[in-house]
């Protein structure tokens, strides 16, 4: 490796890290999905609920890029509108569970002792409960819709953050700088929020990226079985369910379009989360 002489000293140039194309491509796809979710309702060529029985179950064309469903609604427009609801639900689940799980993890690591052991046992019990089952029960009790499964999944996803963040928080709390801050008279709240949280935040963000895809699938599954978002609202999981009857009649475009959107989004966020996790040493 070539060296550079500077003021009599020999300095080795810094090696350039090769580009991570998986990280770049997944980031672009995730950014595109977020952009479509934000502005899709403004660029949709048709109203998502506008019906035309004379144009039912049409294939892709210049007027209807993804074709039409069984009652003549434009599938492309419904996909754009559905991106907003699907991504909003996943975002709420990830944000809520991330805040709750991170707070529990830092509190557990900072308290230690019996508090840490008790919280770990509670979290281990919660790991055994399937998230989709809790969402279905919440929808059955509080009624089908957007908020019941979203809030239920928020609670179910919190332990996954807590498991990842706690190990990092324990290491941070044992660092010499934390003891120095204690001796300097800083409060526990200030140390945890301004120092420990800031140092574990990269792991939280990496876990959030992974959890986004899982949350989107779980919320879509609840809508698919009829306990989530209700018709005629556009939502990807509901669109897959609505298109089942059309598949047998030779018009799979509605289920296919929504299903591809779900798969592409989940894969992109999972790949992005895996690459970020590898960079920050997050153990899944």
How confident is the model over 20-74, as pLDDT tens digits?
Answer: 788 899 999 999 999 999 998 899 999 998 888 888 888 898 888 999 998 899 9
**Is the pLDDT score of 264 beyond 90?**
yes
Model confidence at 280, in pLDDT bands (50, 70, 90)?
low
277 pLDDT tier (thresholds 50, 70, 90): confident
- Could you report the per-residue pLDDT of 2-26, keeping only the tens digit for each? 444 445 455 455 556 677 788 899 9
Predicted pLDDT at 131: 83
Q: What is the pLDDT of residue 6?
A: 46
- pLDDT mean over 229-253: 89
Q: Where are the domains of the chain?
A: 20-49+63-280
Query: 172: closest CA among 193, 199, 142, 206?
Result: 199
pLDDT of residue 28: 95
Specify the pTM.
0.87
Architecture of domain 20-49+63-280: Orthogonal Bundle (1.10)
* Tokens at 277, concatenated: 């996790």
Task: Give the C-alpha separation, 120 to 117, whole Å.
Answer: 5
The continuous run of DSSP H or E covering 10 comes out as: strand 9-11
pLDDT value at position 132? 84
Q: Which tens digit of pLDDT belongs to each residue from 122-161?
A: 888 888 888 888 888 898 888 888 999 999 999 999 998 8
Residue 81 has a pLDDT of 94
- String of b and e for 183-220 (b: at least 16 CB within 10 Å)? eeeeeeeebbeebbbeebebbbebbbbbbbbbbbbbbb
Q: Is the pLDDT of residue 93 over 90?
A: yes
**Confidence (pLDDT) at 282:** 53
pLDDT digits (tens, 9 = 90+) for 166-221: 888 888 888 888 888 888 888 888 888 888 998 888 888 888 998 999 999 999 99
Q: What does each C-alpha distance from 79 to 31, 105, 115, 205, 230 come to in angstroms? A: 17, 37, 47, 27, 15
Q: What was the pLDDT predicted at 15?
A: 57
pLDDT the model gives residue 2: 47
| Rounded Cα–Cα distance for residues 121 and 234 (Å) | 40
């Amino acid at each position: 490796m070539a060296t550079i002489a500077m003021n009599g000293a020999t300095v080795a140039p810094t090696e350039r890290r090769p580009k991570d194309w998986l990280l770049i491509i997944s980031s672009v796809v995730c950014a595109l999905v977020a952009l479509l979710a934000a502005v899709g309702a403004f660029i949709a060529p048709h109203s998502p609920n506008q019906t035309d029985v004379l144009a039912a179950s049409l294939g892709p064309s210049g007027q209807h890029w993804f074709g039409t469903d069984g009652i003549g609604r434009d599938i492309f427009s419904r996909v754009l509108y559905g991106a907003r609801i699907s991504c909003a639900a996943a975002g709420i689940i990830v944000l809520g569970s991330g805040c709750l799980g991170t707070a529990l993890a830092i509190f557990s690591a900072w308290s230690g002792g019996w508090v840490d052991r008790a919280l770990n046992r509670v979290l281990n019990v919660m790991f055994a409960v399937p998230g989709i089952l809790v969402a279905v029960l919440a929808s059955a009790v509080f009624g089908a819709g957007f908020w019941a499964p979203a809030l239920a999944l928020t609670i179910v996803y919190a332990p996954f953050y807590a498991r990842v963040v706690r190990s990092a928080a324990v290491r941070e709390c044992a660092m010499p700088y934390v003891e120095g801050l204690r001796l300097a008279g800083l409060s526990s709240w200030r140390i945890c929020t301004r120092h420990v949280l800031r140092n574990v935040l990269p792991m939280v963000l990496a876990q959030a990226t992974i959890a986004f895809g899982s949350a989107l699938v779980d919320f879509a599954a609840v809508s698919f079985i009829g306990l989530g978002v209700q018709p005629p609202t556009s939502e990807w999981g509901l669109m897959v369910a609505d298109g089942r009857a059309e598949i047998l009649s030779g018009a799979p475009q509605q289920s296919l379009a929504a299903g591809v959107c779900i798969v592409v989004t989940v894969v992109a966020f999972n790949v992005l989360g895996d690459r970020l996790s590898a960079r920050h040493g997050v153990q899944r």
